[in-house]
A and B are shown apart, each in its own frame.
Chain A
Amino acid sequence: MEKDLVTLTIDGQKVQAPKGTTILQAAKKAGIDIPTLCFLKEINEVGDCRMCIVEVEGRRGFATSCIQTVEEGMVVHTHSPNVLEARHVILDLIISNHSKDCLTCTRSGNCELQALANKFNISTIEFEGERTKHKIDDVSPSIVRDFNKCILCRRCVSACKKVQKVGAIDCINRGFESCISTAYDKSLNDVNCTNCGQCIQACPTGALHERENINDVWPKLKDPDTYVIVQTAPAVRVALGEEFGMPIGTNVTGKMVTALKRLGFNKVFDTNTGADFTIMEEANEFIDRFKANDNLPMITSCSPGWIKYIEMNYPELLPHLSSCKSPHEMFGALLKTYYAQKENIDPKKIYVVSVMPCIAKKFERQRTEMQNDGMYDVDAVITTRELSRMIKQANIEFTSLEDTNFDSPMGEATGAAAIFGTTGGVMEAALRTAQDVLTGQDLKKIDFEQVRGEQGIKRATVNIAGKELKVVAASGLANAQKIMEEIKSGKADYQFVEIMACPGGCIMGGGQPIKNSKIRSEVDVRKLRADSLYSIDEKSVIRKSHENPVIKKVYEDFLEKPGSEIAHKLLHTKYYKREKYNI
Chain B
Amino acid sequence: MKTIEEICKIREDKRKELDLRVNTQSDTREKHILVCHGTGCTSSESPKILENFRKILKEKNIENVRVIMTGCFGLCAKGPIVIIRPEDTFYAMVKPEDCEEIINTHIIEGKRVDRLLCKDIDGKIVQSLDELNFYKKQKRIALKNCGVINPEDIDEYIAFDGYKALEKVLKDMTPDEVIDEIKKSGLRGRGGAGFPTGNKWELTKAAVGEQKYVVCNADEGDPGAFMDRSILEGDPHSVLESMIIAGYAIGADKGYIYVRAEYPIAVHRFQIAIDEAREYGILGKNIFGSSMSFDVEIRLGAGAFVCGEETALLESIEGKRGQPRVKPPYPAQCGLWGKPTLINNVETFANITRIILNGAEWYSSIGTEKSKGTKVFALGGNVNNIGLVEVPMGTTLREIVYDIGGGIPNRREFKAAQTGGPSGGCIPKEHLDTPIDYESLKEIGSMMGSGGMIIMDDTKCMVSLAKFYLEFTVSESCGKCTPCRIGTKRMLEILQKLCDGKGEEMDIYRLEKLALNIQRASICGLGQSAPNPVISAMKYFREEFKEHAIDKTCRTLECKAISKIIINEEKCKGCGLCQRACPVNAIEGKDREKRVINQDKCIKCGTCLTNCPFKAIGN
Which of A171-179, A486-494, A574-582 has 4 or more CB atoms under 8 Å from chain B? A171-179
State in angstroms the CA–CA spacing of A61 and B519 once bound together: 8
Which of A26-34, A123-131, A243-251, A304-312 has 4 or more CB atoms under 8 Å from chain B? A123-131
Set B304, B476, B487: member contacting A93, Cβ < 8 A: B487
Set A62, A127, A152: member contacting B485, Cβ < 8 A: A152
B476 & A175 in contact (Cβ 8 Å cutoff): yes
State in angstroms the CA–CA spacing of A47 and B519 once bound together: 16
Q: Cβ of A190 < 8 Å from any Cβ of B?
A: no
B482 & A90 in contact (Cβ 8 Å cutoff): yes
B520 & A175 in contact (Cβ 8 Å cutoff): no
A175 & B474 in contact (Cβ 8 Å cutoff): yes
Min Cβ gap A179→B in Å is: 9
Q: Cβ of B456 < 8 Å from any Cβ of A?
A: no
State in angstroms the CA–CA spacing of A130 and B493 once bound together: 8
State in angstroms the CA–CA spacing of A152 and B483 once bound together: 12
Q: Cβ of A48 < 8 Å from any Cβ of B?
A: yes
State in angstroms the CA–CA spacing of A77 and B488 once bound together: 26
Q: Which residue of A lies closest to B528 (CB)?
A: A61
Q: Cβ of A94 < 8 Å from any Cβ of B?
A: yes
A129 & B480 in contact (Cβ 8 Å cutoff): no
State in angstroms the CA–CA spacing of A535 and B606 once bound together: 85
Most buried by B among A53, A126, A129, A176: A176
Which of A81-89, A434-442, A508-516 has 4 or more CB atoms under 8 Å from chain B? A81-89
Q: Cβ of B523 < 8 Å from any Cβ of A?
A: yes
State in angstroms the CA–CA spacing of A171 and B328 once bound together: 24
Given contacts A49-B482, A129-B489, A177-B479, whether A89 and B474 have CB atoms under 8 Å apart is no
Residues B245-273 near A (CB distance < 8 A): none
B477 & A174 in contact (Cβ 8 Å cutoff): yes
Tally of contacts, chain A with chain B, CB under 8 A: 105
Given contacts A89-B513, A174-B304, A178-B485, whether A50 and B521 have CB atoms under 8 Å apart is yes
State in angstroms the CA–CA spacing of A293 and B425 once bound together: 75
Number of interface residues of B (CB under 8 A): 32
The interface residues of chain A lying within 8 Å CB-to-CB of B528 are: 61
Q: Cβ of A25 < 8 Å from any Cβ of B?
A: no
Q: Which residue of B lies closest to A176 (CB)?
A: B489
Q: Cβ of B514 < 8 Å from any Cβ of A?
A: yes
The size class of the interface chain A forms with chain B is 20 to 34
Min Cβ gap A383→B in Å is: 31
Q: Which residue of A lies closest to B328 (CB)?
A: A68
Q: Which residue of A lies closest to B519 (CB)?
A: A61
Residues B290-305 near A (CB distance < 8 A): 304
The interface residues of chain B lying within 8 Å CB-to-CB of A93 are: 482-483, 486-487, 490
Q: Which residue of A lies closest to B306 (CB)?
A: A174
B477 & A175 in contact (Cβ 8 Å cutoff): yes
Set B477, B479, B517: member contacting A90, Cβ < 8 A: B517
Min Cβ gap B528→A in Å is: 6
State in angstroms the CA–CA spacing of A152 and B521 once bound together: 16
The interface residues of chain A lying within 8 Å CB-to-CB of B479 are: 152, 171, 173-178
Q: Mark A62-78, 1 if CB is under 8 A from B, else 0.
A: 10100110000000000
Q: Cβ of A450 < 8 Å from any Cβ of B?
A: no
Most buried by B among A68, A94, A174, A177: A174
The interface residues of chain B lying within 8 Å CB-to-CB of A50 are: 481-483, 521-523
Q: Which residue of A lies closest to B497 (CB)?
A: A129
A175 & B485 in contact (Cβ 8 Å cutoff): yes
Min Cβ gap B582→A in Å is: 37
Q: Cβ of B442 < 8 Å from any Cβ of A?
A: no
Set A62, A64, A127: member contacting B490, Cβ < 8 A: A127
The interface residues of chain A lying within 8 Å CB-to-CB of B486 are: 93-94, 96-97, 127, 176
A86 & B490 in contact (Cβ 8 Å cutoff): no
Residues B437-488 near A (CB distance < 8 A): 474-488
A85 & B326 in contact (Cβ 8 Å cutoff): no
Most buried by A among B304, B493, B520: B520
Given contacts A85-B517, A178-B479, 15 further A-B contacts (CB under 8 A): A61-B521, A82-B520, A89-B483, A94-B486, A96-B486, A97-B486, A126-B510, A127-B490, A127-B510, A129-B493, A152-B482, A175-B484, A176-B477, A178-B478, A178-B480
Cβ contacts A to B, 25 pairs, < 8 Å: A47-B523, A48-B523, A50-B481, A50-B482, A50-B521, A61-B522, A64-B523, A68-B328, A85-B513, A89-B521, A90-B517, A93-B482, A93-B487, A127-B514, A130-B493, A152-B479, A170-B321, A173-B479, A174-B475, A174-B477, A174-B478, A175-B479, A175-B485, A175-B488, A176-B479
